[in-house]
A and B are shown apart, each in its own frame.
Chain A
């Protein structure tokens, strides 16, 4: 959610039950403003909160002019001091794939797991058990990246693409209409398109290239991994992800208010196919 409309956004996203206490809100308002100034970001988003055993991580993201460029992620333990996280790479993803369980809440905590690696010694190849240590910070980076790639969403029409390449915020976006708001196809993944090229020509003919340049939620696998609900008597549409429980996207139809926030344990729901 946009740091500028933090209070309203928190109020609208409160249907999932998790929010922020007043002291956190107050500190966020000031500290995010300073972050924007210091790092020269165009927009700062409050991404959410990852619940750890000992402490919680508060995550923010900074965007530049081009909305689809890689975002910078910052984390804080007390909503006042923010530290920049390194961008996620494939290595980090591979390393953290083996780590399971809750976050501890201590960024320097190390997860240990033993791996069987093949070690070359001279001419012999034998397997050794190696204890691999993964820092919690690395895990944080990769989890945030996975969540962003998988379930960060925006409504259709909120961004538009200029012919030169970068995508900008659409200042004339007036919100989705009620009928559009209930369809999964009106929401896009907030990332570079992956499936768009696979569409048939017939489908592409109906698309508007300045607005439809991202993947829509319609073809997400597994089917049914999004729950759409109307709250507050039809005045608010809320999408919750079932794959990463804790991600809530809200939008008030016919207004410009929309945003998403993740408050959860940072674990993927691998039991989803059994639960649907």
Chain B
């Protein structure tokens, strides 16, 4: 906007044009003062008067600015051009000013189009062919950016003649003029605004102009300010307000003032987020839709959906057979009374997911164990028992893999031994032996009594967790780690956990089950006693069955005394198993491999048998945590004790809940899967530094002889040689002498 003000009287009009020109337009403009001079002064003055007489609109100036070359060159056409924008602006905003000669409509469109081109706002008001012509005109003009004269003159002259006539009318017709200014200029009394940055370079031409100018100037300044585009986007306040008002006028909501702000936001948002085609999917929602599809599959009944009327009924009858799926909704209801548990919608989805599991696997009994929260995903855990015989097939596959590994290892060991025997220098054998691995418990016994399946969300496939080994339980007691939600994630810890997250999860599930699965006293009873208790080292009975005569204990009693609850899962010994196994007892395989080493082992002390509390011990005998009882009992609702449910909460494993009501009870765990400890977690210290091999003379390195020593040795050797030769010579001489003699 640094055009120097032309020296002649035409300058003011140029200046005003340029001042009101938009940034974009102004840059493309190029002035031709010489052409300007061709214009009669008087007309110009009249023009300028008229300009200021009306509320000059911004687009009019832009139009004028862009059209400058055209105007100037066209001479007499200028006035009409300037007229038209003025009239047109009024029409655009007022919506129906009387001043609408058909010719005025022409530049109206034109101007609108210009406006559109600049900002791109889809103002829908007037679209005619004329606009396209004008747009073309505009583009040509802009592309050439120069003196674009004769092409458009025919286009212009027709209306031009009329308008010129009008213009003359206008000049003489004061009332019309007044009509233009009916709505008055909107002044803002801020002197700083009068000189917006785009117009800084220009003189205050008001000094040279007649009276009504300051107002119009102010108006035009205001409009220039409004048309500034904001830094972060191409939208200017003016355009936004036009959009907003257009929207309001089109939709005509009731009481627009109260919803003005939300309309404002919506208009802005719509500007930047045009509606996409109906054919394209929203990319963000894709995973949501996929998950919904999977869950929809859950809802379809097995084997082809519900058929028509008759078929449906038949299917209904067939399906009302006992399934292994438990009544999750009932348990969820009772837990909800206690304030625990997932929402009922989620519970229903879990029920459907369990139903799906039961259909896929040969399951005898099934139970929803609970939910373990993880960092990225959570686990839903189901506790199942397979039917007799079904499980062993899968187990064998797993065992074969294990045994294959062992055989390879044994082979390797044998080869190693042979090599060692062949070597001349026998590497000293380490005297350290790893502690014997404690064998894991068989399926269906002890910690491996149940099988566990996990899934991340209902609708996703269920994965089976492997059986837990005692080593894993022992290590799980020493570490405390969050679950990430991915079963194959490694567990990085010290001491290193033997396994990945699936094993750690299984170990924690085993610990939680053993510690917190309780039932009302009398619900389970031992079967008929078989054999002495002294067998198996006094491990006690490990089987129980439901008591058919159980009549339920009143809820109030259950809440009052902890003796009314018993554990029905076996306690896990420090060894990691439920039944104790002497690790020093050799199995047959081990005896074959390590005959030589047996003798060394006999000297080790015997391991004491570990004993834990027997099955069906009441809770009152559980160890306390820092003088606090490890269990908390509550009535679910104090306001109506007669219908309440007894709830027990574990303080040792936060998240473990049990409810009992009448003859029903259920255990549930929802939590992070960690034990509560009042003290901070202390990680295991690293093992002490291993002793170095004792240094004796046979492995001590000797210093290499230095150069002097070597030379001395060499000299000594040579001397010895020389001495030996002399002796020989002497002897020979002696012999010779003897011979000679």
A binding-site residues for B, Cβ under 8 Å: 11, 14-24, 51, 53-54, 78, 100-102, 171-172, 177-179, 224, 227-235, 240, 242, 245, 264-265, 270-271, 274-276
Contacts and interface: CB of A to CB of B under 8 A. Distances in A.
B376 A274 contact: no
B482 A17 contact: no
B67 to A, nearest CB: 40
B714 interface: no
Nearest to B679: A100
Nearest to B645: A21
A223 B340 CA distance: 30
Given A11-B343, A21-B336, A271 B681 contact: yes
Nearest to A52: B632
Among A23, A51, A54, max chain B CB count under 10 A is at A23
Contacts of B375: 224, 227, 242
Contacts of A245: 672
Contacts of A270: 680
A171 B376 contact: no
Interface stretch (B207-215, B282-290, B532-540): B282-290
B291 interface: yes
A101 B678 contact: yes
A24 B680 contact: no
Nearest to B676: A265
A245 B265 CA distance: 38
A209 to B, nearest CB: 14
Given A177-B284, A245-B672, A21 B338 contact: yes
Question: Top 8 closest A-B pairs, CB basis?
Answer: A17-B670, A233-B291, A234-B288, A271-B681, A14-B343, A21-B339, A178-B284, A227-B375
Interface in B367-406: 371, 373-378
Contacts of A14: 341-343, 346
Given A179-B284, A233-B288, A227 B629 contact: no
Contacts of A51: 649
A22 B337 contact: yes
B459 interface: yes
B651 A102 contact: yes
Contacts of B480: 271, 274-275
B641 to A, nearest CB: 12
Contacts of A177: 284
Nearest to A263: B339
B707 interface: no
B377 A233 contact: no
Given A17-B371, A172-B261, A233 B459 contact: yes
Contacts of A171: 261-262
A47 to B, nearest CB: 16
A62 B649 CA distance: 30
B340 A172 contact: no
B681 A233 contact: no
Interface string B629-657: 10010001111100000000101001100
A271 B670 contact: no
A221 to B, nearest CB: 17
Given A18-B340, A172-B262, 20 more contacts: A14-B346, A15-B378, A16-B373, A17-B341, A17-B342, A21-B339, A21-B636, A53-B629, A101-B626, A101-B678, A177-B284, A227-B373, A229-B485, A231-B457, A233-B457, A234-B287, A234-B291, A235-B288, A245-B672, A265-B676
A242 B683 CA distance: 19
Contacts of A15: 342, 346, 378
Contacts of B377: 229
B334 to A, nearest CB: 10
A265 B373 CA distance: 17
Contacts of A242: 375, 482
Contact of B632 (A18, A23, A53, A234): A53
B482 A275 contact: yes
A100 B654 CA distance: 16
Contacts of A228: 376
Contacts of A232: 346
Nearest to A27: B639
Contacts of A240: 373
Contacts of B336: 19, 21-22
Contacts of A178: 284-285, 288
The prevalent SS among residues of A at the interface is loop
B291 A21 contact: no
7 contacts: A14-B341, A23-B640, A172-B262, A178-B288, A229-B376, A230-B287, A232-B346
A177 B377 CA distance: 20
Contacts of A53: 628-629, 632, 651
Contacts of A19: 336, 339-341, 343
A92 B86 CA distance: 73
B295 A233 contact: yes
Nearest to A265: B654
Nearest to B678: A101
A101 to B, nearest CB: 6
Contact of B671 (A17, A227, A235, A275): A17
A24 B628 CA distance: 26
A25 to B, nearest CB: 9
Contacts of B680: 270-271
Contacts of B681: 271, 274-275
B655 to A, nearest CB: 7
A116 B77 CA distance: 100
B291 A172 contact: no
Given A21-B636, A265-B654, A227 B376 contact: yes
Interface in B291-317: 291-292, 294-295
Contacts of A274: 480-481, 681, 683
Contacts of B459: 233
Among A101, A230, A233, max chain B CB count under 10 A is at A233
Interface string B244-270: 000000000000000001100100000
A14 B373 CA distance: 12
Contact of B482 (A101, A102, A231, A276): A276
A173 to B, nearest CB: 10
Nearest to B494: A274
B705 to A, nearest CB: 55
B629 A78 contact: no
A150 B715 CA distance: 84
B339 A18 contact: yes
Contacts of B288: 178, 233-235
A197 B295 CA distance: 47
Nearest to A228: B376
Interface string B54-79: 00000000000000000000000000
Nearest to A264: B654
B376 A21 contact: no
A233 B285 CA distance: 11
Nearest to B485: A229
A20 B482 contact: no
Nearest to A55: B634
Nearest to A102: B628
Interface in B17-55: none
Among A22, A227, A240, max chain B CB count under 10 A is at A227
A240 B375 CA distance: 9
A275 B373 CA distance: 14
Interface in B303-354: 336-343, 345-346
Contacts of B373: 16-17, 227, 240
Contacts of B346: 14-15, 232
B339 A24 contact: yes
B231 to A, nearest CB: 11
A11 B343 CA distance: 6
A16 B651 contact: no
B637 A23 contact: yes
A21 B645 CA distance: 11
Contacts of B291: 233-234
Contacts of A234: 285, 287-288, 291
Nearest to B482: A275
A240 B371 CA distance: 15
Contacts of B343: 11, 14, 19
